[in-house]
Structure 1
Amino acid sequence: MKELFKLQQLLVPDLLNVMERRYFVLRSIRLTEPVGRRPLAQMLEMTERVLRGEVEFLKGQHLIDFQPAGMSLTPEGREHLTKLDVLMREIIGIHKVEQQLSECLGIAETIIVPGDSDKMPLIKDEIGKACARRLEALLVEKNTITVTGGTTMGSVANALMEINVEGKEMIFVPARGGVGGKVSDQANSICAVMADNTGGTHRVMYVPDEVSDELRTILLKEPSINNTLTLIRSADIVLHGIGEAMKMAERRNTDEESMNKIIKRHAVGEAFGYYFDSDGNIVHKVSTIGLQLEDLPHFKYIIAAAGGKSKATAIKSYMKNAPRSTVLVTDEGAAKEILKGE
C-alpha cells in the first residue's frame, strides 16, 4: 500500500490532493450536518466556487444529500468515510507524526486526530471519541477511573456512550474539586455523565479546587473526603486535560498576588493546579485537595487530552513533567505546532 501511495504521488500527484480534499469535505459535513455551503466553505478555508464543485461530485456519487436544512452524509457516505478515516491517516502520514511527537515529548504514545479544534470546535468531539476508544482498550473487569474537569473531558464523557463496556465494572471519581466556570465542565458533573453513559457509578467531591492551607487541613479530617482521596489514589486510570495558564487562572478567580506571579514568571500551561513555564518549570502551585503531580508516577495508565494550535505551548510545558507512561490524545493543529520548533 505504501508503495502504491509513493507511485501515485510520483505519477499523479494531484490525485492524492483531490482525495484528501474530498475526505475533509466529507468529514466536515459529518461533524456539522446538516450544514450549508457557505459555513462549510468558511470552515474549510475554501472558496464557495471550489466547494460547490466538490459537493456536486460527492452528491453524484451518492455520498451526500442536499436538504433545505443543509448537506448531510448518506448511509453510503458514512460507510465509505469510516474506511477513508483509516486510509487517510496513512496518506496524510499521521502515524509517523504520532511517533515523532511521542519521541519529542518523551511519552509512551500519541494519538492524533485530523484537523485543528481552534478552527473547527467540533474536532474536540473527535478528540473525545479517540480518547474514549483508547480508554476502552485499557478496561478490565473492574475499573476505577479518576477524571479532571474541562471541556475536553466533557467531550470524552459524551463519547463514552459509543464504547463497549459489557461485563466491565466502572467507578468514576473526580480528581479535583470545583474550579469555577460552567457546572457541566466540573469534574463532579463529568464523572456523573461518564457513569450514566457507561452504566457505571461515580463519587463526588464537593470541595473547591483551591483552598487555604488552614481549610485544607480541616477538610482532610472529614471521613467522606478522605475516602474519596483514597479512591482517587487507588485508581487504575487517570483521564485529564491540559489548560492554558492564563485561562485557568481566570477560571479560578485567582487573587491579584498569585496572578502577578503567574504573569511575571511566564506561565504557559496548567494541570492539576500546577502552572508551568515554557521550560516545564513549576512557577506556581495552587493549594488543592485532590490528585497531585507527584501522585502520577504511581498510576498504571494516564491519558491526557488537549487540542488546538493555541494549546501547543501548554501541552509541551506540561509534558516535561508528565510520567513517561502518558498517552496524549490531541489534534493536528497542536501536533504540528509542537513539532515546528523541533
Structure 2
Amino acid sequence: MKELLKLQQQLVPDLLDAMERRYFVLRSIRLTEPVGRRPLAQMLDMTERVLRGEVEFLKDRHLIDFQPAGMRLTSDGRKLLAKLEDLMKEIIGIHKAEKQLSEHLGIAETIIVPGDSDKMPLIKDEIGKACARRLAALLDEKNTITVTGGTTMGSVAKALMDINVAGKEMLFVPARGGVGGKVSDQANSICAAMAENTGGTHRVLYVPDEVSDELRSILLKEPSINNTLSLIRSADIVLHGIGEAMKMAERRNTDEESMDKIMKGQAVGEAFGYYFDLDGNIVHKVSTIGLQLKDLPRFKHVIAAAGGKSKAKAIRSYMKNAPKSTVLVTDEGAAAEILKEE
C-alpha cells in the first residue's frame, strides 16, 4: 500500500490531493450535519466556489444529500468514509506521526485523530470515539475500569453507546472524588453514563477531590469508601484525561497559597491531582482520596486522552511521569505541537 501511494504521488499527485480534499469534506459534514455550504467552507478554509464543486461531485455520486436544513451524508457516504479512514491516515502522514510521537514521549502507543479540537470542538468527540474503540479492543471477559472526570471522558462515555461490547462484563469505578465544575463532568457521573451505555455496572466515590489530612483519616474509616478504593486499586484498565494546570487549579477553587505555588512553579499540566512543569517535575500535589500517580505502573492498561494544540504542553509534562505502557489518544493539533520540539 505504501509503495502504491508513493507511485500515485509521483504519477498523479492531483489524485491524492482530490481524495484528501473530498475526504475532509465528507468528514466535516458527518461531524456537523446538517450543515450549510457557507459554514462548511469556513470550517474547511475553502472558498464557497471550490466547495460548491466538491459537494456537487459528492452529491452526483449519492454520497451526500442536500436538504433544507443542510447537507447530510447518505448511508453510502458513511460506509465510504469509514473505509477511507485508515487509508487517509497513511496518505496525510498520521501513521508516521503516531510512531514518532510514541517514541518521542516514550510510551507504548499513540492514536491520532485528524483535526484540532481547539479549532473544531467536535474533534473531541472523535477522540472519544477512538478512545472507546481502543478500550473495547483491550477488554477481557470481566473488566474493572477506573475513570477520571472531564469533558474528554464525557465524550468517551457518549461514544461507548455505539461500541459493541456484547458478552463483556464491565464495572466502572471513579478514580477520584469530585472536582469543581459541571456535575456531568464528574467521574461519578461519567462512570454512570459509561455503565448505562455499555450495559455494565458502576460504583460511586462520594468524597471531595481535595481533603485535609484530618478528614482523610475519618473518610478512610468508612467501609463504602474503602470498598471503592479497593476496586480502584484492583482495576484492569485506567482511563483518564490530562488537564491544563491553571484551568484545573481554577476549577478546584484552589486556595491562594497553593495557587501561588502552582504559578511560581510554572506548572503547565495536571493529572490525578498532580501539577507538573514542562520538564515533568511535580510542583504541587492536591491531597486526595483516590488513584495516585505512583499506582499507575501496577495497572495492566492505561489510556490517556487529551487533544487540541493548547493541551500540547500539558500532555508533554504529564507524559514524563506516565507509565511506559500508556496509550495516548490525541488529535493532530496537539501532536504537531508536541513534535515541534524534536
Q: Where on the TM-score scale, by shorter chain, does this alignment land: which range? A: over 0.9
| AA of the residue aligned to 2:214 | E
Deviations 1:4-41 (A, max 9, x none): 21122112222211211110010010011101111111
Give every structure 1 segment of 4 or more consecutive aligned residues whose post-TM-superposition deviation is greater than 6 Å: none
Matched, 1:209 2:209: yes
2:84 equivalent in structure 1: 84
Matched, 1:132 2:132: yes
The correspondence of residues 39-50 of structure 1 with structure 2, limited to 5 A, is 39-50=39-50
TM-score normalised by L of structure 1:
0.98
The correspondence of residues 279-290 of structure 1 with structure 2, limited to 5 A, is 279-290=279-290
1:183 equivalent in structure 2: 183
| AA of the residue aligned to 2:11 | L
1:266 equivalent in structure 2: 266
The alpha-carbon deviation at position 98 of structure 1 amounts to 0.7
Distance 1:259 1:40 in 2: 41
Distance 2:7 2:165 in 1: 43
Distance 2:226 2:106 in 1: 33
Deviations 1:36-66 (A, max 9, x none): 1111112112222221221111112211111
1:338 equivalent in structure 2: 338
1:154 equivalent in structure 2: 154
Unaligned runs of 5+ in 1: none
2:37 equivalent in structure 1: 37
The correspondence of residues 38-117 of structure 1 with structure 2, limited to 5 A, is 38-117=38-117
Deviations 1:260-316 (A, max 9, x none): 111111000000000000000000000001000001011010000001111011001
2:22 equivalent in structure 1: 22
Distance 2:247 2:123 in 1: 20
Distance 1:23 1:165 in 2: 29
Matched, 1:325 2:325: yes
| AA of the residue aligned to 1:70 | G
2:234 equivalent in structure 1: 234
Distance 2:334 2:8 in 1: 29
Deviations 1:77-111 (A, max 9, x none): 11111111121111112111111100000000111
Distance 1:215 1:47 in 2: 60
Distance 1:3 1:260 in 2: 55
Distance 1:3 1:172 in 2: 44
Matched, 1:312 2:319: no
> Percent identity at matched positions?
87
* SS of equivalent to 2:104: helix
| AA of the residue aligned to 2:258 | S
* SS of equivalent to 2:303: strand
Distance 1:333 1:171 in 2: 33
Distance 1:9 1:166 in 2: 42
Distance 2:314 2:55 in 1: 37
Which has the higher mean CA deviation after the structures are superposed, 3-12 or 276-285? Answer: 3-12
Distance 2:299 2:50 in 1: 50
Distance 1:43 1:255 in 2: 40
Matched residue count: 342
| AA of the residue aligned to 1:123 | I
2:256 equivalent in structure 1: 256
Distance 1:14 1:266 in 2: 47
| AA of the residue aligned to 1:289 | I
Distance 1:237 1:313 in 2: 25
| AA of the residue aligned to 1:101 | L
